[in-house]
Amino acid sequence: MFDFLEGYDLLGAFWVTVQLTVYSAIGSLIWGTLLAAMRVSPVPLMRGFGTAYVNVVRNIPLTVIIIFTSLGLYQTLSITLGAKDVTDINFRLAVLGLIAYTAAFVCEAVRSGINTVPVGQAEAARAIGLSFSQVLGLIVLPQAFRSVVGPLANVLIALTKNTTVAAAIGVAEAAYLMKEMIENEAELLLISAVFAFGFVCLTLPTGLILGWVSKKVAVKR
């Protein structure tokens, strides 16, 4: 029944999906947190940049961003992100696009987390002489993150599925292989079902584990 799978590197394709997800998740967590820090900073220029970035980037379709990384950054501006062959270049460009896009959502999740931290926490931290970055890094963000594990899990699940857009610039991840198989094989429903199942296998544990983590790390007040 699953003969049609022969000759295709299904695991390899999903491995690329996992890699896209992991690199993009790490990158967008860092960049998104920096953006959130900008949005709550006392410097108006940084606040302005953070706000403008989030509102521009989250309103552009991901497909447009991913295609821009290839057509705009690589083919027009010859940015290769240090990679030599075209497979690596496309992979890195896709990660860059996914980070740029996902960070806007991470930023908003983290910022909503920052808003759950009572203002007295930051005041007490300032009162013992901590600097702005120490107040944020030692007191506010650790508490903010604990309250947004759930929303961040949503962002991570969306990111996992969004990696399929990388197929648009030729990254050989799961959706790219699916398209190839659909062109060559007859079992269209089964092929879709197999790939749907593959993604559920990736995202369902993510949601369950992070749901558990969310309860575990919640700050008691």
Partner 1 sequence: MTEVSVTKDAVPAADDLVVLKNVNKHFGALHVLQDIDLTIARGEVVVVIGPSGSGKSTLCRAINRLETIESGTISIDGKPLPAEGKELARLRADVGMVFQSFNLFAHKTVLENVTLGQLKVRKADKKAAEEKARALLDRVGVTAQADKYPAQLSGGQQQRVAIARALAMDPKVMLFDEPTSALDPEMINEVLEVMQQLARDGMTMIVVTHEMGFARSAANRVVFMADGKIVEEAVPDQFFSNPRSDRAKDFLSKILHH
Q: Which residues bind partner 1 (CB under 8 A)?
A: 42, 118, 120-121, 123-131, 134, 138-139, 142-143, 146, 219-221
Q: Which is nearer to partner 1, 118 or 211 (CB)?
A: 118
Please report how close the Cβ of residue 216 comes to partner 1 at its closest, in angstroms: 13
Distances (CA, A) of 88 to 16, 62, 79, 83, 182: 11, 20, 12, 6, 25
Tell me how far apart the alpha carbons of residues 105 and 79 are, in angstroms, rounded to a whole number. Answer: 25
> How far, rounded to the nearest angstrom, does the alpha carbon of residue 87 sit from its chain's CA centroid?
21
Do residues 98 and 162 make contact, with C-beta atoms less than 8 angstroms apart? yes
Q: Which is nearer to partner 1, 7 or 120 (CB)?
A: 120
Q: Which is nearer to partner 1, 121 or 206 (CB)?
A: 121
Please report how close the Cβ of residue 218 comes to partner 1 at its closest, in angstroms: 10
Q: Which is nearer to partner 1, 43 or 52 (CB)?
A: 43
Tell me how far apart the alpha carbons of residues 24 and 72 are, in angstroms, rounded to a whole number. Answer: 20
HSE, side-chain direction, 13 A CA sphere, residue 188? 1
Please report how close the Cβ of residue 100 comes to partner 1 at its closest, in angstroms: 31
Please report how close the Cβ of residue 132 comes to partner 1 at its closest, in angstroms: 8
